[in-house]
Amino acid sequence: MSRSELVWSLLDGKLPPPVPVELTSAVHGLLASTDRMAVLSTDLSEFLRLLDRLCPSALELQALRESTRALHKDVREHIKCASALLAALKPYRRPRP
């Protein structure tokens, strides 16, 4: 159900369909996972800064830098996608405990 459909149904006095239990648990799982990914993103960013500060020209570490940057990019992309999904589900979200 889109937001506009939700608004129209509420204006007509109809309640939105109940959220299935499995969707609720999936949303809670996604929220928890996204929170952990945000922490991981922060840690990766700090690790990259530390690596650049301590060993700015170490060629042996170039492959590690590149793979860590790629991982950091993937984590940020996951957070972006998960945030968009959670925002789309917002009409059905319940307050976080």
Q: Among residues 43, 41, 46, which one has the least CA distance to residue 75?
A: 41
List, for residues 27-44, the tens digit of each pLDDT value. Answer: 888 888 989 999 999 999
| CA 86 to the chain's CA centroid | 8
Structure tokens at 49: 């800064």
What is residue 1's DSSP assignment? -
Residue 54 has pLDDT above 70, yes or no: yes
Question: Which pLDDT does position 26 carry in this prediction?
Answer: 79
Give 25's pLDDT tier (boundaries 50, 70, 90). Answer: confident
